[in-house]
Amino acid sequence: MWSRHALEMLHRGVSECRLCAIFLARALRSRKNSNERIILYSEPCLQYSARMKYLMSKKLKDLKVSSARLYGTSSRVIVVRAFEIVAAPIFKWLYSPQFLISNGAAAPSPAAATQSSTSKVKDDADDYVDDTADDPSDGDEDADNAPDARIETEPQIFEVPVGSDVYLPCNVVNAEAAAIIWSRGRLPNNTLFIERERLTEDPRMSILPNRTLLIKNVQLNDSSDEYICKVDDDNKIAHELRVKLPACNKGARDLQMEHNGVRVTPAACNEIMQGETIELGCESTLQIKAKRISWSRQGLKILPDRQTETGSYITIRNASRHVSGDYTCGVDTGAEKLLTQHLTLHVRHLDIEYEKEKIDGHTHHKDHYATALGVTVNITCIVHAHPGVNKKMTWFHNGNKINIDNRRITVNDEIKNHKVLTIRDVNKDDLGAYQCHATNEDREATGPIIQLIDTPAKPIYNNAENDDDSVVLQWKVISYKPIVESELVFRQENDSEWRVAEDVKVINSDGKEHIVQGTIRGIHAGKHEAKLRTRNGDESDANDVAKDAKSWGPYSEPKTFGGDVEVQTAGVHTGAAMRPAGTLILLAPLINFF
């Protein structure tokens, strides 16, 4: 049992991993009685360092938190006490010079650092008396031979009505050998809990002693395909949570629900068509005059459109699926507890949209898929429907209905909302425009055009820097064939004419991913925008005019920047230049990127 004054950091994970450790020994000496405890998840340090510093600043105010790296061939538990750093012998510490300098010491050798740390522990040990503390060296051999933790629970799909509680299980064998991590989705900042340490700010979520994730009063936006319980990258499960609105049967639609002197109108459960208008009312039938009547939807306050002495009303015009959900009406009579009543709104709809992807924190619509002959491609459209679609999707290619042969071309609609057309062994005839078509009992809809291309994909902005008299921009481009030509154009804000920049080249290629860099020299003061497109093919295609128009990919989204230098001449780069990518750093004073 570690000291109750300890600050613990637990890690399980992968062999030969990089760990982050927060060194607080010096700062915590002045806080001998601190009961604060925190756990650090060992994804790459940069992803979590900001979050950890934020948590530490809340828990231990005015402490300067520094971080260092810890490398090891396997991992069990790291413990940082208020007066010492304790680690199992399986780790080799590499002390960070930045940390040591920031704490007022020169960077010693690892051996000297270990000796220094030990002496400081002895100096302060008398201040920390703990009869329950174990010797950290005890049982190290047993720890090394301890069986690994293993998740036994199978992935499940949970369908629950809005407002209910849901329990997402995660049964772990040999759980004492692991730090169980719960997260929602795969983005770095979506970690909910590490063991029972809370990283989410949602008070409805908690971890039970058996490591089950409990979510109380679930709402529509709690729906997710990935509630992940994880020991490490090879040992995890993902539950799917589908939150459903309660069905509006005839009795519910006809009922004006009144409870505790609060009535909602037009009914407790309402259903309208997409595009229609509805007024939702909250009325007090109490003899006591209400001080305030308010509305909220899924925890967010809504300003009323009109109010009377006994009621509050909101008007929803041109209704879409986004206004569906559970609405809460609250009447404040001056009593300690607010009187509340709920109202459900369903909007009958059928919408089809592009698949979305997040790149560097920005959401992009996938209106095209870059491919190559002979490979397999998955084309996806997203369907939102209430009521649900009647049957499997119909797909069209260049306006013609596709024959699904279940061998080379197949359809998969098992993933919520995602309708996927899979084409194996792509050939030239498969290229072109695709659309998906869906029907439900109200209407039918055809999705937007999705292009399947063998030209480069739309470039995604990657990085930027500025030098004394130039701006250097980078984009990432997906192309299965070598990029043989790149064109970077730019213009000043509100100009109609695009200029072509010189010095545009591929600086790095890794399989189908390419980094293209362009330099713009001598631009006027003020805001500018730039965009890039690329052309692929064999090296022999670089000067082939006949192939030129067909092999250009789409332009990137315009990138906005500002500067204060002079305009220079322009050109087009031809040829697939390859060299190791340089490191670009964004510098602030001269050029501002938006």
The pLDDT tens digits for 414-459 are: 677 889 999 999 999 999 999 999 999 999 999 999 999 999 999 9
Model pLDDT for residues 240-280, shown as the tens digit of each residue = 998 877 777 655 555 557 777 899 999 888 999 999 999 99
Share of the chain above pLDDT 70, in %: 65
Q: Pick from 383, 373, 310, 382: which is nearest to 349 by CA?
A: 383
Going by C-alpha positions, the residue among 278, 370, 293 that lies closest to residue 329 is: 293
Q: Which domains, ranges and CATH numbers included, belong to the chain?
A: 150-244 (2.60.40.10), 258-349 (2.60.40.10), 355-453 (2.60.40.10), 460-538+552-563 (2.60.40.10)
Closest CA to 282 of 310, 260, 303: 310
- In whole angstroms, what separates CA 557 from the centre of its chain? 21
- What's the N-to-C CA distance of the chain in angstroms? 52
CA dist 409 and 415 (Å) reads 18
Quote the tokens at residue 463.
């990085």
- Mean pLDDT comparison of 164-168, 220-224, 285-289, highest-scoring range: 164-168
- What would the pLDDT profile of 315-328 be if each residue is shown by its tens digit? 999 999 999 988 99
Is the pLDDT higher at 291 or at 405? Answer: 291
- Contact call for residues 277 and 345 (beta carbons, < 8 A): no
- Alpha-carbon gap, residue 280 to 345, rounded angstroms: 9
By the 10 Å C-beta count (0-12 exposed, 13-18 middle, 19+ buried), 188 is classed as: middle
* pTM for this model (two decimals): 0.56
Please tell me the distance from the alpha carbon of residue 298 to that of residue 342, in angstroms, as a whole number: 11
Per the omega criterion (within 30 degrees of 0), is the bond before 169 cis? no
Residue 273's H or E segment, with its range, is strand 269-273
Burial of 333 (0-12, 13-18, 19+ CB in 10 A): middle
